[in-house]
Amino acid sequence: MTESSIHNTKLNEITNWGVRAAIGVIFIVQGSGKFGPGFAGMLGNMGISVEMQIPIALAELVSGILLIIGVLTRLSASMIAIIMLGAIFVVKEASNLTGNGGYAIDLILLASALLIITMGPGRISLAHVIKKLPRCLH
């Protein structure tokens, strides 16, 4: 292996983890905020059952944590992709891409989740460190 390809591989792994960590932190923060009564009220105003508050908050929080540590990475990114599709088409009704109430950030988060699904956890992950972990848990 040449020095250039080794450097490129390391850079790819660091970038992979960086994307996972950034998306993970965003969803940990956003998921934590959804446990409050404000989010339940917002769900009610949108015609979504208030009972969905805890599952949505947990899905965001747990998926964010799992993305950062690199376990169940593809499953976590899939959950985030589903959440972002809901945010784009149900919450924001895909009305405008930019401006107030636009879904540009949601689209970026969806694209990042799809990127993580295709790339997997990479070498900077708990799934890579624990060699005996079944492949389905990567």
3-state secondary structure of 96: coil
Burial (CB count within 10 angstroms: exposed 0-12, middle 13-18, buried 19+), residue 70: buried
How high is the pLDDT of residue 91?
86
Q: What is the pLDDT of residue 126?
A: 87
Residue 28's pLDDT is what? Answer: 98
pLDDT value of residue 33: 93
Q: Domain of 60?
A: 3-137
Q: How much is the pLDDT for 6? A: 57
The per-residue pLDDT for range 72-110, each reduced to its tens digit, is 999 999 999 999 999 999 888 878 888 788 889 999 999
Q: What is the pLDDT of residue 93?
A: 83
Alpha-carbon separation of residue 27 from 84, 122, 126, 133 (angstroms): 11, 20, 19, 25
- If one counts the domains in the chain, the total is 1
Residue 20, burial from CB neighbour count under 10 angstroms (0-12, 13-18, 19+): buried
Which among 82, 77, 52, 67 has a CA at the least distance from the CA of 126? Answer: 67
Please give the pLDDT value at position 74. Answer: 94
* pLDDT for the residue numbered 1: 57
pLDDT < 70 stretches in the chain:
1-8, 136-138
Of 16, 3, 22, 24, the closest CA to residue 124 belongs to 16
